[in-house]
Amino acid sequence: MTAPLRIGIISFAHGHAAAYCRRMSAFEDVRMVACWDDNVERGEKMAAEFGMSFSPHVEDVIQHPEVDAVIVTCETDRHPEMVIAAAEAGKAILCQKPMALTLADCDRMSAAVERAGVPFMMAFQMRQDPSNIRIKELVESGAVGKVGLLRRRHAIPLLFNQDFVTGPTRWHFEPKRNIGMFFDDASHAADFIHWVMGRPVSVMAEIGNTLTDVAPDDMGVAIYRFADGSMAELVNSSVMLAGENTSEVYGDAGVIIQNHDDSPSTNGPRVDNAIALKLWRRGEPAWEDQQIAIPANHGERIQGVPRAFVDYVLKGTPPTATAEDGRVAVEMILAAYQSAREGRRIEIGRDDGRRTTDDR
């Protein structure tokens, strides 16, 4: 494809859609053409703000002759139908996380994309973050030696926000639309763990309500094991007001500590001279500041996604997150729900789509 990349938006149900559009409005190689939303008032408002045409019929966007690529930001349970239709129409696709509610649906989406031969990328913003990229580089370079434990805390305070709990975005924790808050938000941290450590082989988890009762869950802790015996701890909360430390990597040759890399720690109070990322190597007298800036707010990370997608479609750079990456994150989270429900360790591996939303 050649610039400008002509984009259609499939729903503004997910708040990240507007963030992507705000960022793309400054791109010289992008033109936002058309959008659809089943909430007509919301769709018309967003269309006017970003200079797009609006249609109450989704096929008008998917089949639009001047749309090269679509961004699928509808409710998660509708991802499969939208992605499959867009693939069959020959459009490049950016899909919001989580990929789908079941592994079977992930596989149907992947098959449709493969048949059509269209570009497809998952919207995992952690992969665009300079601090996270540096963590991956340090681990892969052997800076900390063999990793024994990676710990990632990824949190938001949204269940304390009544506008979220009672408003139009409450679908994020409706079981039929998106299972629960852990499924929706921990998928980011699951993808980060997979990206840095590889695919885990098992998980043990606890997921439930601790401080609220408005959603199916507000807190979860999952411990993933890997084939080499190493572990990763995922801590996800929808009721965390503030924080600092977000990631820790402990190896036999060093340690990585990351701060201010999720919503409570980026948007919340911050100490003077805070350090985003630091490395300590065995035998060294002090921590080594990795000289990475802390973003002004969490939205900066979210807005990093569309640039990677546009470069992938226009320039052929590798997609930062593939359909298989999307599937692995769904599998990791569904397995954690199953572990919490059954009170036992759950193995993770290809299961031909057998794990479903009943595993929550």
pLDDT class of 284 with cuts at 50, 70, 90: very high
**Which band of pLDDT confidence, cut at 50, 70 and 90, is reported for residue 38?**
very high
The residues with which 203 forms a beta bridge, in sequence order, are 224, 346
Q: What is the pLDDT of residue 352?
A: 46
* Alpha-carbon gap, residue 123 to 305, rounded angstroms: 6
| pLDDT given at position 1 | 81
Mean pLDDT of 263-274: 87
CA distance 289 to 195: 23
For the 130-295+331-342 domain, the top CATH level (class) is alpha beta
Assess whether the previous peptide bond of 216 is cis (omega < 30° from 0).
no
The alpha carbon of 106 is separated from its chain's Cα centroid by a whole number of angstroms, namely 15
- pLDDT for 353 beyond 70: no
Q: Quote the pLDDT of residue 334.
A: 98
* Bond before 318 cis per omega within 30 degrees: no
What order do you get walking across the sheet with 120-123 strand by strand? 53-55, 30-36, 5-10, 69-72, 92-96, 120-123
Rounded CA gap, 124 and 118, in Å?
19
Q: Using a pLDDT cut of 70, give the percent of the chain over it.
A: 97
- Average pLDDT of the chain? 95
- Phi and psi at 186, nearest 5°, equal -70, -15
Residues carrying CATH 3.40.50.720, the chain: 5-126+302-318
Average pLDDT over residues 284-313: 91
Condensed to tens digits (0 to 9), the pLDDT of residues 125-156 reads 999 999 999 999 999 999 999 999 999 999 99
- The pLDDT, as a whole number, for residue 217 is 98
Question: Which structure tokens are listed for 41?
Answer: 């008032």
- CATH class for the domain made up of 5-126+302-318: alpha beta
Q: With contact defined as beta carbons under 8 Å apart, do 180 and 360 qualify?
A: yes
Query: Model confidence over 39-64: pLDDT tens digits?
Result: 999 999 999 999 999 999 999 999 99
Distance CA 209, CA 195 (A): 28
Residues paired with residue 120 on neighbouring β-strands, in sequence order: 93
Please write the tens of the pLDDT for every residue from 243-261: 999 999 999 999 999 999 9
Omega cis (within 30) before 65: no
Give pLDDT, residue 301: 78
CATH 3.30.360.10 boundaries in the chain: 130-295+331-342
pLDDT for residue 275 is more than 90:
yes
Structure tokens at 34: 């058309």
Q: Give just the sign of the alpha carbon dihedral 155, 160, 161, 166.
A: positive
Q: How large is the average pLDDT for residues 188-206?
A: 98
216 pLDDT above the threshold of 70: yes
| Helix or strand holding residue 19 (H, E) | helix 16-24
Token pair for 5: 């990349």
Helix 79-88 × helix 103-116 angle, to 10°: 10
Q: What is the pLDDT of residue 359?
A: 53
Give the model's confidence band at 360: pLDDT under 50 very low, under 70 low, under 90 confident, else very high: very low
